Structure 1
Amino acid sequence: MMDYKALHALAAVVRCGGFEPAAKDLCVTQSAVSQRVKGLENRLGQPVLIRQTPPIATELGQKLISHLHRVEHLEKDLTLANPQVDRVHARIAINADSMATWFPEAIGKITDEMDVDIVIADQDKGIELMRRGEVLACLCSEDTAINGARVDRLGVVRYRAYASPDFLLRYKILDQPDKLHLAPCLQFNEDDKLQHQFLNMLGMPDPLNPIRCPSSEGFVQMAANGCGFGMIPEMQAAIGVASGSLIDLAPTSPIDIPLYWHTWRSGGSAMKRLRASVIKSAHRWLRQDR
């Protein structure tokens, strides 16, 4: 049987950024918080916290926090008189491009009843966080539901290769399009292989000069300012295309990435409302091509 006082202490330390603020949040002494977390670690035989500033949960610790949040959602549905569950928590994994475009609309007023902790994860990686029990829901390109969860198809994000007019002139891309792989190529992070896929699709090798930019908004700005070419969602590039600061390098060669919403079946009513909101917003903004 889980010691839920200990789980609440662990979650509070991570959420509040330390033992002292966690104690104030839980209205107990700092010693009580420390003893509960240590007791949990002694029982499990391994650490649940990395004691740095601020403390962060270990992989096991994050699984326990996610379990606690799922229980809170279920207790909320039972309307139990427990002040600790007046607000429930949801840690969810979202890819950066969705956060920069349509997903904030999906969250909407959900934050009136739920504290949302958003983890930025590539569309190919979010499902791994869900499998490890680290998040309650994720947005990803994986269409197979994991045990105990459900999956909904949301639609398709169409990516195109964009660059600035100045960039095309400097690197003579219009005269030598088959040399594009030699020019600077924007890449969100090491997991982002869309640019590789695009070049390979056109018969070129992987980019020779990748430039990392782990910011979705910054990625667009760097492309518009001639720092490199990159794959950008159509909806995100629309303003740059209209103003002439971005040019589609291959109008007939887009890359479509399907998106799916994964959530635990036992997530509770608040998560069901979030799911409905995500589906509604996705159908409004994403391509529904089959």
Structure 2
Amino acid sequence: MFDYKLLSALAAVVEQAGFERAALALGLSQSAVSQRIKLLEARVGQPVLVRATPPQPTDLGRRLLNHVQQVRLLERDLRGQVPALDEGDQPERLRIAINADSLATWWAQAVAGFCTERQVLLDLVVEDQAVGLKRMRAGEVAACVCAVERPVAGARSIALGAMRYRALASPGFIARHFPAGVTPEALARSPAIVFGPDDYLQHRYLESQGIEGTFSHHLCPSSEGFVQLTSRGLGWGLVPELQVVDELASGELVELLPGRSLDVPLYWHHWRNGGELLAELTGQLVATAAKLLVP
């Protein structure tokens, strides 16, 4: 039989990125959390954590974390069906990995009503859309929004639509760097803005113009900051169309090559045995995304 106090300690250490914060979350001493992890490892006969900074689950640890995620959701369903089991717990906290651009655009509209009605608290882990699925694979989240279609074992993947990105810059930036028009050569010489080391949208856009290799760029790991830097003329970048409707209408931002957008597909991944809560959230996301994203 599983000892869920031990599994909860494992989940807390991974989710809180350390033993000290896990102890605070569980209301235990750091020593007590460490002892629970050691006892769990003694019972399963192998390590469940790599003692790094932050601690990382082993292959077995990931399988146990995936199990914990699903049990939590199924327990919520059971408490709703059997009122005697409801001990007045805090609202359910749903841990989800999501890309920053979705968070800055359509996500809030999609989940606000659902979270209010179902009394759900969100614990959002921001990851680039190209790598968000690694959080599910590690057992850290119950669901994720990412650009990868193939789900991990035990999960389902549903297409939500696509985010349309446009290559934009301020009028002043265009006047300085493209006085003779936006050519591949001039584009290769002008500074770009890149979200982070896992963001390859600008690379893909340049490759579509026949430009390969390295290029000068700013790193800005913030969707809102990305738009601000672009608007202030620090560089050009691929920006979600949904995020800059007003800036495009006012002329604050201008498309470098009109009509040459880049669409990034988004998929919603969730555990198959995630219970009613994840099933309802999935339906809500699919319905809202159909209205806001590119088919």
**TM norm structure 1:** 0.85
Partner of 1:107: 111
SS of the equivalent of 1:107 reads helix
CA contact (8 A) 2:160 2:267 kept: yes
> Quick one: distance in 2 between partners of 1:125 and 1:169?
36
Gaps of 5+ in 1: none
Give the C-alpha shift of residue 22 in structure 1.
3.9
> Quick one: distance in 1 between partners of 2:288 and 2:271?
20
Change (3 A) 1:283 1:223: same
The yes-or-no answer on 1:199 pairing with 2:200 is no
CA contact (8 A) 2:48 2:57 kept: no
The yes-or-no answer on 1:175 pairing with 2:181 is yes
The yes-or-no answer on 1:21 pairing with 2:19 is no
| Equivalenced residues, count | 282
Of 126-135 and 29-38, the range deviating more from structure 2: 29-38
Counterpart AA for 2:92: V
Partner of 2:127: 121
Change (3 A) 1:176 1:276: closer
Change (3 A) 1:83 1:63: farther
CA contact (8 A) 2:62 2:137 kept: no
Write out aligned runs for 1:192-271 (5 A). Answer: 192-206=199-213, 208-271=215-278
CA contact (8 A) 2:128 2:199 kept: yes
When the two chains are superposed, the root-mean-square deviation of aligned CA atoms in Å is 2.7
Give the C-alpha shift of residue 84 in structure 1.
8.9
Partner of 2:163: 157
Partner of 1:98: 102
Change (3 A) 1:113 1:170: same
CA contact (8 A) 1:159 1:233 kept: yes
Structure 1, residues 88-109: CA drift from partner, whole Å, max 9, x if none?
3332111110001011222214
CA contact (8 A) 2:20 2:30 kept: no
